Amino acid sequence: MKRVLDEDLAYEILSVVGEIPEGCVATYGQIAKLIGREKNARLVGKVLSRAEYYGKYPCHRVVNHAGRLAPGWNEQADLLREEGVFLKDENHVDLKKFQWED
């Protein structure tokens, strides 16, 4: 049921995102590397923006290398707080504590 490159990067990205445990956050670069596209971190973000459309994936646990949350998406901050992730600022999480390590 694997089919690996099922349709495109979306499946791989969503798969990794779905493995992120609660109370943790992962960076786009981290995910990009896990799917074998370290250079392509931007694609992760682009696909993740559509992840809402796909549904069921904790895209709110994905932040950038600086721990900044997605612009125009304040709800992400609340979602993280609900899982126990303390934010340093309105749009920043404490990576040194919550950055997910595989």
- Interacting residues toward DNA by CB under 7 A: 8-9, 27-29, 32, 37, 39-46, 48-49, 51-52, 59-60, 62, 64-68, 70-71, 73, 76, 88-89, 92, 95
| Smallest distance from DNA to CB 89, Å | 7
Q: Which is nearer to DNA, 84 or 94 (CB)?
A: 94
Contact yes or no for 86/94 (Cβ under 8 A): yes
Backbone angles phi, psi at 76, to 5 degrees: -55, -40
CB of 1 to DNA, least distance (A): 22
How would DSSP label each residue in 39-57?
Answer: GGHHHHHHHHHHHHHH-S-
